Structure 1
């Protein structure tokens, strides 16, 4: 199908999924705002450092990935409603963005529900419904988007390399910053957003942290690889079913069974 061909008969699928994307963007944004408001209200009530609290809030991979997720969902939803009605494939940069951010969101859901689901936080620090949106509902919808592959163009395996750039930068930032920040909650002379990245909580210190980093990096590469492989299957949820042409009259005539002559009477 050509680059600018209209998408039929799957236009309705795109409209429906565009609405899902826009609703998801709004839900994620509402969840981030609700958690942000609660975090700062609690910090103000307890006289904590506002600047440190602000930077810490946006140092969580969950918050960063969900902020990126809301932006990608918004742009992707608007594209499906407008240019997506005329073009078969989304722009290449958008496909790369979906694979990268979708990978972050899916891995966020996996890591939270395996490693952090039972982790006890400060009383009143978490908005329950927002927590579920950021760690379960949002990641689940991104997973569906990667599977449905609506309007996603075929991308090369280099998309995996693009997907790991942000997580690597975030881990480096987190480990370098952690030793130089005083926790506004506990007063410890260090602060790490997650316990598995805190060398003071790991039995083997930075070695234990390194094992977790390697495991999560492997998960990111695995999810990104599956997302890329899905685009290379070409057919998405909005792809029209292949049309099998009917045989032409000439072919039908040549393949028809030969007529059997009626038996003649014996002389």
Structure 2
């Protein structure tokens, strides 16, 4: 198939789209934060504290690694890494579109940027994972190992929030809802991550069984 022969070109294009999503988020968000009196350093830390931004950067790095094909980018080409990132970007899309979309109404370029990081890039990466990422050697135990990233992120959010009083997502705002409620929300999120991990592993095993070499 021609598309398979030109996979580096395809991933290069997908990488450009993913990076445009991340860059446009900074381009539209930084001035808005600065107008509110935030410092540039504080603004950058705030933006990098969003799980959406972090995960979209990981997606862009995975596409870039696939396009470059260099040994230095091997980590981002591992099937376990790619599957974990697919899980995380799926969660980004689900949480935003099911929970947060009604609370956020950007306009103009900010609206396009929002769709890129929450809809277009997630959809493209999921399709890429389904079509091109090898599914063998993905085991059930991997689903538990993949929880380290969201778990570490949630702990970071609580620590940073306790220091500066800023939380990237309302359902993690311990200052507003208290730690018991937020810890419960974190537990629910980790269960969702685990379920999604196991779902992707199940899909991987099905694809490998029926379509693998």
TM-score (norm 2): 0.84
For the residues of structure 2 that align with 1:150 and 1:59, how far apart are their CA atoms?
28
Give the 5 Å matches for 1:82-101.
94-101=78-85
Q: What is the aligned partner in structure 2 of residue 197 from structure 1?
A: 172
Q: What is the aligned partner in structure 2 of residue 112 from structure 1?
A: 96
More helix per residue: 1 or 2?
2
SS of residue paired to 1:157: coil
Among 134, 158, 164, the alignment partner of 2:141 is 158
Deviation of 1:232 (Å): 2.5
Residue pair 2:82, 2:133 contacting (<8 A) in 1 also:
no
For the residues of structure 2 that align with 1:219 and 1:19, how far apart are their CA atoms?
34
Give the 5 Å matches for 1:247-258.
none
Q: What is the aligned partner in structure 2 of residue 12 from structure 1?
A: 2
1:218 to 2:152 alignment: no
1:148 to 2:134 alignment: no
Going from structure 1 to structure 2, the CA distance change for 1:19 and 1:226 (only over 3 Å counts) comes to farther
- How many residues align? The count is 210
For the residues of structure 2 that align with 1:132 and 1:120, how far apart are their CA atoms?
12
Give the 5 Å matches for 1:13-162.
13-15=3-5, 17-79=7-69, 94-120=78-104, 127-148=110-131, 150-162=133-145
Q: What is the aligned partner in structure 2 of residue 185 from structure 1?
A: none
Residue pair 2:22, 2:53 contacting (<8 A) in 1 also:
yes
Residue pair 2:96, 2:118 contacting (<8 A) in 1 also:
yes
Note the aligned Cα RMSD (angstroms): 2.9
Unaligned 5+ segments in structure 1 are 1-10, 84-89, 182-189, 241-267
Deviation of 1:170 (Å): 0.5
Going from structure 1 to structure 2, the CA distance change for 1:231 and 1:95 (only over 3 Å counts) comes to same
For the residues of structure 1 that align with 2:158 and 2:75, how far apart are their CA atoms?
35
Residue pair 1:35, 1:126 contacting (<8 A) in 2 also:
no
Give the 5 Å matches for 1:213-252.
213-233=186-206, 234=208
Going from structure 1 to structure 2, the CA distance change for 1:236 and 1:33 (only over 3 Å counts) comes to farther
Deviation of 1:223 (Å): 1.7
Deviation of 1:78 (Å): 4.1
Residue pair 1:35, 1:130 contacting (<8 A) in 2 also:
yes
Larger radius of gyration: 1
Mean alpha-carbon deviation: is it higher for 38-47 or for 52-61?
38-47
SS of residue paired to 2:62: helix
Deviation of 1:198 (Å): 0.6
Unaligned 5+ segments in structure 2 are none
What per-residue deviation string (whole Å, max 9, x for no partner) do you get for residues 174-222 of structure 1?
A: 00110211xxxxxxxx1000001012443xx222222322222122112
